[in-house]
Amino acid sequence: MIQIPAIAVKKIVPILTKQVSLIQNLMQKLSSSISNLPPNVKCNDPNVKSSKDQLSKILKNIKKLKKLLKLISKILKILKVLAIIAAIGIVVALVIPAIPGVPTGPVSKLLQMFSVVLANILGAIAVLKGILAGILAQINSMNTAAAAIVTKLSSICNNEPIVISAAIASILNKQVIDDGSGNQSIKSNSNLDNESSDDLDDLDDSAYNDKYNSEFYNKRNVSDEDMDFRIKSIIELLENEQEVMINLIEAPSDILRGNGSPLDSAGKINDFYINIQSGQVFGPKTDSGWQISEHDSTIKQMVSI
């Protein structure tokens, strides 16, 4: 259990790296193809059609990458809750020795375990945040490169629409591009940017299904559904760890989680409650109901997220 956050990060990185590498390779090939087009090439030229098809594939893969990032963002939220649970475990373990008749040995081990878990979780959060920031920067770079390709293709195919994402359309608008027809050959498709975080697109990338050797990718082709399943398996693993950690806390209490403040009817005496939206901690619950925990500020300092 202690190493689960680190293992999750280890499994996530190859998935993101593979998708980024795929897009970068496609972009390099397309840029090379565009630069090799003759000056007076026509829109019906097979090479131009091939370039438009490649651009469409790149945009779909960028969309898929952004969906993966949304799932990673969900993992970050789960890790944050895990960190707060671990911090509550530390606080509870520090309070338990003050109870007469409670042996200090098991409590000391529990305190040490939660401290290690918390450090592991915070390390995993820092790594994932860094990865997300780096990939978002790469996506912006990819969109800029794609905008240049769209400009070239739209100048060749004045009368044929080129479907692009809203992000690329924004870049083109900032560049004040005038293709001679009021930019009517460039059509923004908001669906390329407004992804749902539930499922990855069922895209046919069979021609690009390479083999990737790692603990997480075995020697077989990895489909979009495989990546989706593996990310969601990591989410399920981390959610299960929440329950395990709660059960390990040596106190007559439970740790409830929800969006917003707890209802008066929620939980029992001595329970804790985490507002997932704000990270605020309530409890332990008393006969008077729920109050913001006296340890809330301490827990936030411990978590530092």
DSSP characters over 157-171: -TTS-EEE-HHHHHH
Question: Is residue 70 domain-shared with residue 216, that is, in the same domain?
Answer: yes
Task: Tell me, yes or no, whether 196 and 49 share the same domain.
Answer: yes
Same domain, 269 and 247: no
What's the pLDDT at 28? Answer: 93
Considering the domain architecture, whether residues 97 and 128 belong to the same structural domain is answered as yes
Pair (185, 72) in one structural domain: yes
Q: Which residue has the tokens 């990939």?
A: 135
CA 304, distance to chain mean position in Å, is 20
Residues of the chain above pLDDT 90, percent: 22
Q: Output Rg (C-alpha) for the chain, integer angstroms.
A: 25
Q: Name the residue with tokens 């809203």.
A: 166
Average the pLDDT over 83-96 and give the result. 77
Report pLDDT for 248: 59
> Looking at the 3D structure of the chain, how many domains does it have?
2
Neighbouring-strand partners of residue 289: 286
Same domain? 105 vs 191: yes
Q: How far is CA 246 from CA 7, 39, 153, 239, 267, in A?
A: 20, 67, 57, 11, 14
**Of the listed ranges 152-156, 202-206, 283-287, the one predicted with least confidence:** 202-206
- Chain segment 244-275, per-residue pLDDT in tens: 666 656 555 678 888 899 999 998 888 888 88
Mark whether 292 and 202 lie in a shared domain.
no
The per-residue pLDDT for range 171-213, each reduced to its tens digit, is: 888 775 444 444 444 555 444 443 333 333 333 333 223 322 3
Higher confidence at residue 231 or residue 50? 50
* Mean pLDDT, all residues of the chain: 75
Lookup: tokens for 124: 């995993």
Domain boundary among 232, 251, 270: 251
Confidence at 3, pLDDT banded by 50, 70, 90: low
pLDDT at residue number 185: 47
Look up residue 202 and give its two tokens: 């069922």
Residue 23 reports pLDDT greater than 70: yes
Containing structural domain, residue 126: 4-251
CA distance 253 to 275: 17
Taking the C-alpha atoms of residue 170 and residue 255, their distance in angstroms, rounded to an integer, is 45
Residue 79 has pLDDT above 90, yes or no: no
| 44 and 169 co-located in one domain | yes
Distance CA 85, CA 220 (A): 38
**H helix runs in the chain, sequence order:** 4-35, 46-95, 104-156, 166-174, 224-248, 296-303
131/278 same-domain check: no
> Same domain, yes or no, for 113 and 212?
yes
**Residues 224, 184: one domain?**
yes
Domain shared by 247 and 257, yes or no:
no
Give 64's contacts (C-beta < 8 A, 6+ positions apart): 19, 200, 201, 203, 224
